[in-house]
Chains A and B, each alone.
Chain A
Amino acid sequence: MHTTPDRAGRETAPGTVSDLDISKMRTIRTIPYGRILSVGLIVLAAFGIVRAFAMGDINWAITWQYMFWPTIMMGLFNTIWMSIVCMAIGVVIGLMCAIARDSVNPVLRGASIFYTWFFRGAPLILQLLIWFNLALVFPRLSLFGLFEARTVEVITPVTAAILGFGLNAGAYASEIIRAGLLGVDRGQFEAAKAIGMTGATALRRIVLPQAMRTVLPPLGNEFISMIKMTSLASIIGFSDLLRSVQNLYFVNTRVIELLMVATVWYLVVVTILSIFQQMLERRFGRGFVRRAQR
C-alpha cells in the first residue's frame, strides 16, 4: 500500500487528509509524447520543403535579380493602389448600404437589398467584362447633360477595374458592416440620443467605433482577397503584379523564378497589411479588454 509523507515527514495512510504542501515537493515531468511527435513531423516536413526548393531546378539568383525589376515594381504599385482605391470605395458604399438596409424608408431598404443581391450574385470576372464592354450597350455616357463623352474613352481597363472591384467590394462590405452595427447594443443608440445627439452624430461617435471592433477582422480579410483578386483584371488588360511577372516569363521562360518574385511581393504586402490591421484592432478594442490593474 502507498503512503504519503506529511509535513512532519510522517507517513499517512491513503484516504486520510494531511496538511501536505505541494510547493515543497519535487515534481516529476509527464512526457508529452503527442507534442514531441507533432513537432518532429512539422520540422521534418519543413526541412523537406526547404530542401526541395533549394536543390530543385530554381535559379534563386535570377529570382533575386528580378525582385526589383522596373516593370515588376510598376505591377506591384498598380496592385497596391488598385486594392486601396477599390477597398475605400467598397467601405464607403458598404457603409451607406448597411445604413440604408435598416432604414425606415422602404425604397432605400429595397435598393440596398437589390444592390447586395446583384453584386454578390454575379461572378466577378463577368462583372469586369461587362464594365469593360459597356460601350457595346451605351455608346455615349452623359451626366444630366453636364458632361458627355464617348464610352470607349471613359471606360479604360483602369476605370473598368475600379468599377468592377469597388462595386463588388461594396456588396460584401455592406453585409460585414451591417453585422457589426447589429452587434452594438440598442441601448447605446438611446443613451447617445438621451444626451442630445442626432442619429448621425450617435452613429459616428458611439455606434460605429464600437462596431469597428467586430468589423475589422472580416474587413481585413476582404482587403487581403482584394489584393489577390486584382490579378483577375489582367483579362481586361490591367497590368497588375502577376501580369507584369507573366509578361516577363513569356519572353525569358524563367517561369518559376518569376512566380517566386510575385509570391514574395504578395506575402510582403499581406504581412504589412496584417500588421496595420492589428494596430487598428488594438485601437478600437480599447475599453473592451480589461487592462491589468495598475
Chain B
Amino acid sequence: MNGAAAATPLVSARIVGKTFQDFEALIEVDCDVMRGEVVCIIGPSGSGKTTFLRCINQLETYDKGSIWLEGELLGYRRVGEALQPLTEKEIARQRRKTGMVFQRFNLFPHLTALQNVTEGPIQVLKRRPAEAREQAMALLARVGLEAKAEAYPAELSGGQQQRVAIARALAMQPQLMLFDEPTSALDPELVGEVLQVMRDLAADGMTMIVVTHEMGFAREVSDRVIFMDKGRVVETGTAAELMSNPREERTRGFLKSVARG
C-alpha cells in the first residue's frame, strides 16, 4: 500500500445536508474516518446522530454535499456534470461494505440466532449453506453465544440479542461498522457484555462509528469523539480533549447533563 492510498479515508462526509420536509436534520456535516479508526458521536436527542448513520448506510438519502466510502460516491453515479441515482441493486452492493447495529436490535424473530447470522451470506453473498454455517458458528463464538445458536430471538436476553445482531452484521465482512446507541435499550447489567464485544472488535482493527451515551466507552476505546447539536458538528477531538477541556459552551453543557444523568 502506498502512502497516498493509506491516507485516503474509508468514509468521508463533505458538507452533508439532509432536510425532512422543512426541517434541517443535518447541516454541513464534515467528517473523515480513517481505516481502523473508532469514532464516537455524542450529542443531545434530535441532534441528527441517527440520521447521519442512516445516510452513511443509505437507509436515508442525503440531499446536500457528498458521502464517500473507499473513494466511491454513495448513492449516485457521475455522468459528466450530471448525477444519476444508483439502482436498488447497486445501492445494496454499496451497503454490503457497511454493517449496521440498531438500538432495538431488529433481529429476525422467525429465524434462530444461527439463521440470523447465515441469512445474509447465503441470500446475498450466495455462500454455500455449510460454509456459511461454519463461519456463523465462529462469529457466534466470538460474541460468546455458540451455545445459543439454535435459540430464537424471543428466547434471548437483550444483551444476547444485541450480540447476535453484531455477529449478523459481521457475517457480511463489512469494511465499516455503524452502531446506533447499541446499549441504550439494555438493562444496565447487560450493557457490559455488549461493550466488551465492541471493545474486542476495535482491538481487532475494525473501523467503527459509534453513536453512544457511554462516555466511559468513548474515552477508553475511541480515537476521536464528535459532538453534534442541532444537525451540526459542533466540536471534534480526542475523548480526553473533549471531555476534560471542551472548547464550546454547548459541549460543556451537554457533558455536564450526561454526567448528572
Contact = CB atoms under 8 A, between A and B. Distances in A.
Interface in A196-222: 196-199, 201, 205-206, 209-210, 213
A287 B123 contact: no
A43 to B, nearest CB: 42
B232 interface: no
Interface string B34-66: 000000000000000000000001010000000
B172 A196 contact: yes
Interface stretch (B7-15, B103-111, B212-220): B103-111
A39 interface: no
Contact of A194 (B57, B104, B112): B57
A284 B99 CA distance: 28
B88 interface: yes
Interface stretch (A24-32, A53-61, A92-100, A185-193): A185-193
Contact of A201 (B99, B109, B112, B124): B124
B100 A287 contact: no
Interface in B97-141: 98-100, 102, 104, 106-112, 119-120, 123-125
B119 to A, nearest CB: 7
B110 A191 contact: no
A194 B99 CA distance: 7
B95 interface: yes
Given A195-B169, A205-B119, A210 B92 contact: no
Interface string B82-104: 00000011001101101110101
B152 interface: yes
Given A187-B102, A197-B124, A201-B123, A288 B96 contact: no
A286 interface: yes
Residue among B89, B102, B120, B172 with max Cβ neighbours from chain A (10 Å)? B120
Contact of A290 (B92, B108, B112, B154): B154
B208 to A, nearest CB: 15
A100 B110 CA distance: 25
Interface size class of A (residues with CB under 8 A): 20 to 34
Interface string A268-294: 000000000000000010111111000
Nearest to A205: B123
Contacts of B163: none
Contact of B88 (A194, A198, A286, A291): A198
Given A187-B104, A190-B59, A196 B124 contact: yes
Contact of A198 (B89, B109, B112): B89
Contacts of B120: 195-197
Contacts of A288: 109-110, 154
Contacts of B168: 195
B248 interface: no
B155 A291 contact: yes
A191 B95 contact: no
B158 interface: no
B236 to A, nearest CB: 26
Interface of A: 185, 187-188, 190-199, 201, 205-206, 209-210, 213, 284, 286-291
Given A191-B106, A197-B124, A287-B112, 19 more contacts: A187-B104, A188-B108, A190-B102, A193-B59, A194-B57, A194-B98, A194-B99, A194-B100, A196-B95, A196-B172, A201-B123, A206-B108, A206-B119, A210-B109, A210-B110, A213-B110, A284-B110, A288-B109, A291-B152
Interface of B: 57, 59, 88-89, 92-93, 95-96, 98-100, 102, 104, 106-112, 119-120, 123-125, 152-155, 168-169, 171-172
Closest CB pairs A-B (n = 4): A195-B120, A287-B152, A191-B106, A196-B96
